């Protein structure tokens, strides 16, 4: 408190900023006079380009694509039932069995193709 009193005593409490007498009385007249002196520049009448017309639509389409991708990434993974899980595991075991049999066999690619083709067409020779 003592420091504040010391500072106020040195500086004083008088407002250092003043407005000249009658400044606001003639301010509006001066502003209107200056505005009337300014000539507006002629703006050329140019038709918008194709891009300027399509730009909002392109931005909106990009926004929807981004939102769809964000939803797809943020969507929680659906849990599968135990029956579906068991079926997937059985299918995986079958694929692993077929892969091991094919790797252990002495067939070349063409022979495997013929064997598969015959099996699919019902020729069990």
Say how far apart CA 117 and CA 125 lie, in whole Å. 12
Q: What is the DSSP letter of 122?
A: T
**Is the Cα dihedral 10, 14, 19, 22 positive or negative?**
negative
Backbone angles phi and psi of 101, in degrees to 5: -65, -45
Which pLDDT value is given to residue 125? 55
Q: What is the pLDDT of residues 22-37, one digit of tens each?
A: 888 888 998 999 988 8
User: What are the extents of the domains in the chain?
Assistant: 50-120
Which pLDDT value is given to residue 60? 96
Which pLDDT value is given to residue 76? 73
**pTM (2 d.p.):** 0.31
Identify the segments of the chain with pLDDT beneath 50: none
The answer to whether 118 and 125 are in contact (CB under 8 A) is yes
Which pLDDT value is given to residue 59? 96
């Amino acid at each position: 408190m003592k420091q504040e009193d010391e500072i106020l005593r040195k500086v004083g409490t008088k407002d250092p900023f003043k407005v000249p007498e009658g400044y606001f009385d003639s301010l509006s007249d001066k502003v209107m006079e200056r505005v009337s002196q300014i000539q507006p520049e002629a703006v050329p009448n140019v038709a918008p380009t194709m891009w300027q017309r399509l730009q909002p639509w392109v931005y909106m389409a990009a926004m929807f694509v981004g939102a769809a991708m964000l939803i797809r990434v943020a969507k929680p993974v659906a849990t599968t039932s135990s029956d579906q899980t068991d079926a997937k595991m059985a299918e995986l075991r079958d694929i692993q069995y077929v892969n091991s049999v094919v790797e252990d066999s002495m067939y070349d690619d063409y022979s495997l193709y013929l064997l598969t083709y015959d099996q699919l067409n019902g020729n069990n020779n």
